[in-house]
Amino acid sequence: MNNKLVKALFYVYGLAWLLGGLLYTGAHMISPISFSHSIIYTPEIASHFMQKLQPYWAYYAWSFIIFTIADMAVMLLGLAFRYIFGTNFY
């Protein structure tokens, strides 16, 4: 197994996780809605909240895509470690 591949997977995971986290945090900070535990949410209130959040859906979608890329990198990193260390390494 190539060490450059393992390093690349680490970088992809780390950078995608960081970028996705920052994007999600930014989208959460600029969104006009803050969900509260004191409000009883009905379908009408939820629909109203989603309409107010509509301009920010792209941010949430991109953060989900970036986190998915990070999760795929973790899966590939696990396969790389399994190949390097074998199945008996705990």
Q: What is the pTM of this model?
A: 0.58
CA distance 8 to 18: 15
- Does the structure show a pLDDT above 80 at 38? no
C-alpha closest to that of 30 among 53, 61, 64, 51: 53
Cβ burial, residue 70 (10 Å; 0-12/13-18/19+): buried
Q: Which of 12-16, 32-36, 86-90 has the lowest mean pLDDT?
A: 32-36
Mean per-residue pLDDT over the chain, rounded:
78
